[in-house]
Amino acid sequence: MRGADGTAVDVVGRDAELAALERLTGDVQHRGAAVLVRGEAGIGKSALLNLAGHDAAQRGLRVLRATGVESETTLPFAGLHQLLRPLFGRLPALPAPQRRALMAAFGTTDDTAAELFLIGLAALNLLSDSATDRPLLLLVDDAHWLDRPSADVLGFVARRLESEPVVLLAAQRDDFPDVLAGPGLQEQHLQRLDRRTAEEVLVRRAPHLDPTTRARLLDVAAGNPLALAELPLDGAHDDADPPTLTARLEHAFAARLPALPDATRDVLLVAALEDDQTPGESLTAASALRGEPVTAQALLPAVEAGLVAVDGGTLTFRHPLARHAIRQQATPPRRRRAHLALARTSREPDRQVWHRAAAADGPDDALAAELEEAGARARRRGGAAAAQAAIERAARLTADPAERARRYLRAAELAFERGRPDAVDRLLRQTTTLDVPARERVRMTVIRDGFEEGVHDVRTGTRMLTEAAVEAAADGRTDQALQFLRAAALRCWWAEPGTSARARLLEVVEQTLGLDDVLALEVLSYVAPFSRGAVLLDRLRTVADGPIDTARAQAAGEAASVVGDFPLAVQFLTSAVTGLRGDGRLGLLARALAVQAWSALNVGRFDLAATAADEAARLAADSAQPLMGTVARVVQAVVSAVRGPQGVHDAGDAGDVEDRLADAARLGLQVDSRAVLAGVQVARGAVALNHGQHHTAWDHLLRVFTATDPAHHPVVRTFAVTDLVEAAVHSEHRADVEPIVAELETVAARTPSPALHIGLQHGRALLAADDEAEHLFAAALTTDLNPWPFARARLQLAHGAWLRRQRRAAESRAPLRAARDTLDALGATAWSDRARQELRASGEQSRPRTPEAREQLSPQELLVAQLAADGLTNREIGARLYLSHRTVGTHLHRVFPKLGITSRGALRTALGA
C-alpha cells in the first residue's frame, strides 16, 4: 500500500491473517482451498492478496490474477478471461466439448455458449492440468465487481478444489452482496487496526506530525489502513469533509486531481472509463479526446500523486476508490467526450457501441438497435447479465413507446433468467407509463411471480398462472401455456392453493393439454394425483415401454414419484440423469437426482439414494435450488440413520441427522412449504422407528396426517402409512390410527398408487385381530414386491414376529430369515438386528452381519468406484460428475485400500451386487 506521496507503507497488524494464508499455500501440494477475504473499503484486502501472492511466488507457486472492474460487470466471462488467459496454451489438451465451451464463452468462436457448468468444468480441468507442473495461487481482487458468469464459474471451481494443488484467494467489499459465498469457501474478515497499530502506521508515514493532528487523523481514520495512508495530513480537521470514511477517501483522491496537468487528467479519465486498458491504449484514447498526441510523460504526475501505477504493459489504479473519484469528478459533458474518444479508438465492436451509448444524451433508435444486437451476441456467449444491461440501455435510448416497452420486457425476461427478482421489478416499473399490451403485462407478472416454485402467495399466484395459460392457449402459444400450467401445478405440490383454485386449474389442464404428451402428465400429477391416478399410471407404464427423450423421461419420473410408483420413477429418472449429464444441464440434473434419491429411498435402494442425494445436494448448491437441496438433505438424513454408522461417513454422527432435518425444516417454514415440512416429519418418523423409538415416531408422523398441521400433505402422507401404523401399534395408539387408516382406504379407492396400497396392506395386517391377521399377511405377501425390497423385508419381519407371538416358532423362521437376508443386503443394520432378535427368540441363532466392503465408502467415493468399475477413465468420470480428473483419482486412491484391492480391475468384484 502507498501513501499520498507514493512511498511504500508496510502492512502491519495482519500477522495472523498472513500466517493463515501462508499455511494454505504451504500445504497446497496436499490440499487445495478457497478463501474469501472480506472487509470494508481500504481495510487492506488488496495488500493482503499482494503479500500472499509474493509469498506464494517465493515458494514456487504460479500466481494467476484477475481484478473485477465496475465497467466490465456486463461483459460475460471478462473476469474469467483475465484469470485463465496465461493458461490458454493448454486449451488444446482439454476434451473437445470443454474446449469449445471455453472458447465460445470467451468469444473466440461463433458457437453459442454452452451450459455454465460445462464452462465451469472446463475451467476446473484447465487449472487442474496446469497445476500438474506447478501449484497455482489464484488471486481475484474486487470480486464484487466480477461479471456474474465469471463469479458463477469461480464459485463452481471453489467448491471443487479440495483435491487440487490450487488455492483460490478472493477479496470482496462488505457493502456488496455475496459473490463467491457457498460450501467449501472459507471466510476471513479483516477488522480495523487497533489504536496502537494504527498509530504505528501513521508514525511510519509522517514521523514528525504534531500530536494534535496525529490524534485527529487517528480518530478520523478509525483504524482503516487506507485512510491512514491516504487522508491529507493537513485536512483531517475540516468540518466540511464528507461524513463517511469511504466518502472522505474518495474526496482525498479527488483533491489531487486539480494540481495535475490537463493531459494527465484526460489519460486518467479514459483509463477510469475503460478498465481493460494498457498504458498505450489509454494514451491513444486521450490523444483522440484532446485532438493532439499524448505521450507516456503524461502518466508520470499521476504516478507521483499515488493515483496509478504503471508496470510494463499494465496500468492500474492504486485503489478502486481512486478510479471512482476520477469518474465522479469529471463533468457530464467531459465524460461524454471521453466515451466518444474511447468509441473511436476501441478495437472491439461491442465496446464501441457501449461507449457511444454512454455518450448519448437523448433518444437514438439506430444506436438502440445496435445495442440490442450487442445484447443478442452477449446472450449467445452465455452472458444473460450483459444482454440484460445492453437491452435495458437500448430501451432508454428508444423513442417509440411500444418499442421501448418491448425492450424493457425483454430485459425483464433476461433478469428472470438470471434469478434477479429485484431487476424484474425495476424493469417492469419502467413500463408502467408505456402502452404495454395487457397480455404482455400478465406474462411478465407471471414470470416475476414464478421465482419460487409456488411457495409464496399461493392462491393468487395459482389463479393468475391458470388464467395466463388460458390466454396463451387461446393465442396458440401452447408452449407458454404449458409453462404457466406447470408453474401453477407445482404450487399444488409445494403448498396448497385451495379447493377452488385447484379445481379451476384441473379444468384448464384437461381442456388445454393433451395427455398424449408426457410433459402434460407431469402437470396433471401435481394437480390431481388421486382422482387421475389410474389414467396417469396407465399412460406412464405405456410410455415406459418405448423410447423417450431426456425432458420427458424427467417429467415421467417426477409424475411417477407423485402418484406413488417409486420403482417406475427410478427407472425414468435414471434415463433422465444420463441425458442431463451429457447435456451439461446441471440445474435440471440436480432436480432429477433429488427426486431419484427420494424415490430410491422409498423402495429401499439405499446405495442409489445415498449417491443421488449426495450429488443432488452439491449440484443444488451450484445451481441455487434450495428446495431441491432440502429434498437431498432429507434423504441423506434417513439413509445415514437406516444404514447406521457406516451410512454417516464424513457427514458427522447421529446428531448430524437431526441437524440436516432441522435445516430443512427451517427452509420449509421460511417459504411456507407443506411438502418440505411433511418430508421432514416423515424422515424424523423413519429415523425414530429405525431406533425403536415408537412413541417419538408416532408424534412426528401424526403431524403429516393432521389436516390442521403445517406439515400436513395429502400426498406425502400416503407414502408413510406403514411407518405410522407400526409406530401406533407399538406405542398404544392403535385406537388413534384406525380412523386415519379408514380415511386412507377411501383415498385408495380412487387411486392405484402402489405406495399407498402396499402401505395399507401392511397396516391392515398389523392392526388385524389374530383370527384375521394370517389371511391379511398372506394377501400382502402375494403382491409382487420384488421392486420394493425394503417394504417386502419389513412385511416378512412383521409376519415372522406375529407367527412367533402365536407360538408358531418353527413357521416364523422362514420369513424372518428372508427378512434378515434382505435387510443385510440393503445395509439396513437396525432392521436386520431386529430380525436377528426375533430369530433368536424363535430358537435360531444367526451369524453377526458382516458389513460389505463398499459400505465403508462415502456416497461420492461409491459413485466414482461404480463408474470406474464400468470401465470409465478418470477424465470420463470427471466429465460425468463435474469433477476434475485429479479429484476422481484422489477418490480412487482412498477407495482401493478401503476395499482391500490394488487395481481397477478388481473393483467390480469388490463392490458386489
% of the chain surpassing 90 pLDDT: 50
Answer whether residue 369 shows pLDDT above 50.
yes
pLDDT at 795: 97
The whole-number average pLDDT for the span 670-677 is 87
765-796 pLDDT, tens digit per residue, is 999 999 999 999 999 999 999 999 999 999 99
pLDDT at 535: 95
Residue 195 corresponds to which cell in the numbers above? Answer: 489504536
pLDDT at 754: 97
pLDDT at 671: 78
Q: Return the SS3 of 66.
A: strand
44-84 pLDDT, tens digit per residue, is 898 899 999 999 999 999 999 998 887 677 678 889 999 99
Higher-pLDDT residue of 297, 116: 297
Strand partners, 315: 310
Residue with cell 385406537: 735
Higher-pLDDT residue of 817, 354: 817
Residue 834 corresponds to which cell in the numbers above? Answer: 431386529
- 503 band by pLDDT with thresholds 50, 70 and 90: very high
- 648 band by pLDDT with thresholds 50, 70 and 90: very low
Question: Residue 319: what are its φ and ψ, rounded to 5°?
Answer: -160, 150
Higher-pLDDT residue of 291, 483: 291
Residue 637 corresponds to which cell in the numbers above? Answer: 438424513
Higher-pLDDT residue of 333, 175: 333
pLDDT at 7: 37
pLDDT at 434: 77
Q: Radius of gyration over alpha carbons of the chain, in Å?
A: 32
Per residue, the 3-state secondary structure of 660-727, as one string, reads HHHHHHHHHHHHCCHHHHHHHHHHHHHHHHHCCCHHHHHHHHHHHHCCCCCCCCCCHHHHCHHHHHHH
Task: Find the range with the poorest average confidence among 99-103, 309-313, 867-871.
Answer: 309-313
721-734 pLDDT, tens digit per residue, is 999 999 999 999 99
Centre a 10 Å sphere on the Cβ of residue 86 and count the other Cβ atoms it contains: 13
Answer whether residue 909 shows pLDDT above 80.
yes
Answer whether residue 387 shows pLDDT above 60.
yes
Answer whether residue 698 shows pLDDT above 80.
yes
Task: Find the range with the poorest average confidence among 462-476, 500-514, 605-619.
Answer: 462-476
Q: Return the SS3 of 888.
A: helix
Is residue 168 within a helix (H) or strand (E), and if so which, with residue range? strand 166-173
pLDDT at 373: 92
pLDDT at 241: 56
Compute the distance between CA of residue 785 and CA of residue 178 in angstroms, rounded to an integer: 49
Q: How many helices (H) and strands (E) does the chain have?
A: 46, 7
pLDDT at 440: 65
The whole-number average pLDDT for the span 163-178 is 90
**In this structure, are strands 166-173 and 314-317 parallel, antiparallel, or unpaired?**
unpaired
The whole-number average pLDDT for the span 252-268 is 90
pLDDT at 752: 97
Compute the distance between CA of residue 801 and CA of residue 228 in angstroms, rounded to an integer: 79
90-125 pLDDT, tens digit per residue, is 999 998 889 988 998 887 777 766 677 888 899 999
Cα end-to-end distance, the chain, whole Å = 62
Strand partners, 189: 38
Compute the distance between CA of residue 337 and CA of residue 48 in angstroms, rounded to an integer: 37
Average per-residue pLDDT for the chain: 87
Compute the distance between CA of residue 222 and CA of residue 278 in angstroms, rounded to an integer: 36
pLDDT at 240: 52
Integer CA distances (angstroms), 478 to 470, 506, 674, 852, in order: 10, 17, 30, 52
H-state helical runs in 291-348: 300-304, 320-329, 332-345
Task: Find the range with the poorest average confidence among 29-38, 220-229, 264-273, 648-657.
Answer: 648-657
Compute the distance between CA of residue 123 and CA of residue 101 in angstroms, rounded to an integer: 10
809-849 pLDDT, tens digit per residue, is 999 999 999 999 999 999 999 999 999 999 999 999 988 88
- 6 band by pLDDT with thresholds 50, 70 and 90: very low
Compute the distance between CA of residue 600 and CA of residue 635 in angstroms, rounded to an integer: 9
pLDDT at 410: 86
Centre a 10 Å sphere on the Cβ of residue 521 and count the other Cβ atoms it contains: 26
Task: Find the range with the poorest average confidence among 405-419, 434-448, 522-536, 888-902.
Answer: 434-448
Compute the distance between CA of residue 876 and CA of residue 872 in angstroms, rounded to an integer: 6
Residue with cell 473437445: 96
Q: What is the largest CA-CA distance in the chain?
A: 108
Q: Return the SS3 of 63.
A: strand
Strand partners, 170: 36, 140
Integer CA distances (angstroms), 268 to 265, 275, 851, in order: 5, 11, 70
Residue 636 corresponds to which cell in the numbers above? Answer: 441423506
Check if the beta carbon of residue 407 is closer than 8 Å to that of residue 395. Answer: yes
Answer whether residue 649 shows pLDDT above 60.
no
Compute the distance between CA of residue 681 and CA of residue 20 in angstroms, rounded to an integer: 42
Strand partners, 856: none
The whole-number average pLDDT for the span 450-460 is 56
Residue 387 corresponds to which cell in the numbers above? Answer: 444482454
pLDDT at 443: 59
Residue 125 corresponds to which cell in the numbers above? Answer: 480441468
DSSP assignment of 489-519: HHHHHHS---HHHHHHHHHHHHHH--TTSHH
Residue with cell 433368536: 840
Compute the distance between CA of residue 510 and CA of residue 140 in angstroms, rounded to an integer: 53
pLDDT at 243: 61
- 183 band by pLDDT with thresholds 50, 70 and 90: low
